[in-house]
Amino acid sequence: MAQRVSASDGGNKKTSRVRVAVRLRPYMPKQDEKDEGPCVRGLDSQNLEIINWRNATETVKYHFDVFHDTQTTQQEVFLSSVKPILPHILQGQNASVFAYGPTGAGKTHTMLGSPDQPGVIPRAVLDLLSPNSQDLPIREDKDKNILIPGLTHTTISSFADFDKHFVPATLNRTTASTKLNQRSSRSHAILLIKVVRTQRAAPRRRQTGKLYLVDLAGSEDNRRTGNQGIRLKESGAINLSLFTLSKVVDSLNSGTAIRVPYRDSKLTRLLQDSLGGSAHSVMITNIAPEFKYYFDTFSALNFAAKSKLIVNKPFTRETVAVPVLPVKRAREEHEAGGSGTEPHKKRQKDEKKSQQDGSSPSAHHHSLSEPSVMDRLIALEKLMMSCQDKDRTSMLKDVAQSRKEIQELKEKQREFESKAKLFSQLAGEKLITQQEPVFKNNTAPLQKKQSNATKPSKQQAVVQPLQVSQLQPLQQLVVAKKQSVCVKKKEKKLSDLVESPNGKENTKENAWESQLDTSVLEQSRQKILQVLNTGCLKELKGLQQIGDKKAKLILGWREIHGHFTKLEDLIKVEGMTEKRFSSFMKANILSTMGK
């Protein structure tokens, strides 16, 4: 009985571009040990500029649907970026709001907020979260809707209900301290709000709209976060899913891709509807102003700029309701992602209770003759804004306290694990250190982005419109220049170490190379470089000593930094030590020579 109805009345497929807002968090002196000042600033309600690393006397400008400056309040973000899409949900269409950006830039602050500054999620009110910690599978129905069987459904009818279910659910989210953010989210958090409106009289049309509220974990560079052990593993997973997200956006933008790689990560499967699917989508890109976030900010802005080119095709989901038999109802719940056990019982209880007191038990039972759900949302919002509810505040404080305790326990656990690891490493393997000087981390983006400058086609598609203008320099330009000098020095050191034919390090390691004809050697090196720069996952895996994980890390590096200008750049890829690089070169040169 389910029917798809186009978003427009006339049956024409209406399209809806992904709306992109950028929010700049306030400058935090604590995050700026070198006292360099901000590297990015707003120009007006849609435009901002960031220092151009290629020429520190210039800035690069970006234009977005909305720019939220440091002074923007939580309420203003909600009113301008989120509230406008809520009516679509009530018309049976899907919508999504997701926060993207580097770690520590303010995603959780924007989506969740704090007791005194509630963010988008409590403001958008309603619904549930599952206290279920198991890894839930993701399925797709015949209409390409994403389903999560086993996810708990809880019916709510008041803001107090929402708090009761939502607050404990936030505790399920892992947070931990990294060098860049004391309370970093170590997972993506997705809250799904489903709104069902049923006509009371025949033909009892039922419209179902869903709102996805997504707080993504931050993209992070482990050389700066200082992550190790569990945190490093988490970070690998976070970066991989964000990398797949970026691939999805690229392939949607190219318009020629045969397959959009939604299935390559759970995150992109969940966001399938929001990007290139049928949802009205808002992406809030959070950025930080301090100089140490410069390259993260730059890539987040580029990602945001390309995301705004994505066009979705919303449609109304409408069914004609028939009397619900118990068996069918159980099936419906399963299809909608309900576990059908505990929550089902609770819903029966809720329904019974509300039948007794005559109130409507859930959004399912709102008829058109009752105050619209939208009115209730607005009323709830007003309630929230003026909310003096001490219980709620103390509950949130309890949550903060529990979260702190959990975090401390996790840190202890991490310490134990790293000690154990250290013992085993001392016994055998060499310790692979992830802690490199901060400025070494900066070398990669600088070098790589230069190579991008000679390859404007992709960059133009990404940053739109991008202008370079001669502007009054921001405070820290001098520092930026100093930095690039440091970077060059450091690069030289690295290349000395790897390339110098006279260097002690190399004489022994690379002695085998001197046995080979130089032109043959050069040809092999070029072939390897070409695969590294242009190879797809499969081709990269075809290289000696490159497995699935390393190939993905190489693709990820390429995505962020562009082409490898020389083979030695491979050492900058996570997990690639000089020793591994030497062995990689030997194996691959010998293997390409045979071809």
Is 65 in contact with 181 (CB distance < 8 Å)? no
Q: Which residue is nearest to ligand ATP, using beta carbons?
A: 218
Helices 229-254, 294-307: axis angle to 10 degrees equals 40
Using alpha carbons, list the distances in angstroms from residue 140 to 53, 263, 281, 432, 527: 44, 11, 20, 41, 41
Instruction: Say whether 105 counts as a known binding-site residue.
Output: yes
Compare residues 265 and 286 and give the one whose CB is closer to ligand ATP. Answer: 286
Residue closer to ligand ATP (CB basis): 96 or 110: 110
Give yes or no for a contact between 176 and 366, defined as CB atoms under 8 angstroms apart. no
108 marked among binding-site residues: yes
Q: How far is the CB of 222 from ligand ATP (least distance, A)?
A: 13
Q: Which is nearer to ligand ATP, 107 or 376 (CB)?
A: 107
Provide, rounded to whole angstroms, the least separation between the CB of residue 128 and ligand ATP.
22
State in angstroms the smallest separation of the CB of 26 from ligand ATP: 5
Spatial separation of the C-alpha atoms in residues 260 and 258, rounded to whole Å: 7
Minimum distance of ligand ATP from residue 268's CB (angstroms): 18
Cis peptide, bond prior to residue 323, ω within 30 of zero:
no
Preceding omega of 122 cis (within 30 degrees of 0): no
Cβ of residue 104: shortest distance to ligand ATP, in angstroms?
A: 5
- Burial letters 352-362, b for 16+ CB under 10 A, else e: eebeeeeebbb
In degrees and rounded to multiples of 5, residue 479 shows phi and psi of -65, -40
Work out how close the CB of 87 gets to ligand ATP at its nearest, in angstroms, rounded to a whole number: 26
Binding-site ranges for ligand ATP (CB under 6 A): 25-26, 101, 103-109, 181, 183-185, 217-218, 286
Q: How far is the CB of 397 from ligand ATP (least distance, A)?
A: 15
Of 272 and 286, CB closest to ligand ATP? 286
Cα-Cα-Cα-Cα dihedral of 233, 236, 242, 244, to 10°?
A: -120
Distance CA 297, CA 101 (A): 8
Q: Are 229 and 414 in contact (CB under 8 A)?
A: yes
- Nearest CB to ligand ATP, comparing residues 116 and 357: 116
Residue 166 vs 564, nearer CB to ligand ATP: 166
102 in a labelled binding site: yes
Residue 60 identity (one-letter amino acid): V
Phi and psi for 568 in degrees, rounded to 5? -65, -15
For ligand ATP, the closer CB: 121 or 380: 121
How near is the Cβ of 284 to ligand ATP at its closest, in Å? Answer: 11
106 assigned to a ligand binding site: yes
Find how far residue 434's CA is from the centre of its chain. Answer: 23
- Residue with tokens 């690295």, as numbered in its chain: 494
Residue 557, phi then psi, degrees to nearest 5: -60, -45
Q: Is 101 annotated as a binding residue?
A: yes
State which residue, 155 or 185, has the beta carbon closest to ligand ATP: 185
Q: Is 104 labelled a binding residue?
A: yes
Which position has the token pair 């490493």? 425
| Residues in the annotated binding site | 101-108
| Residues in the annotated binding site for ATP | 101-108
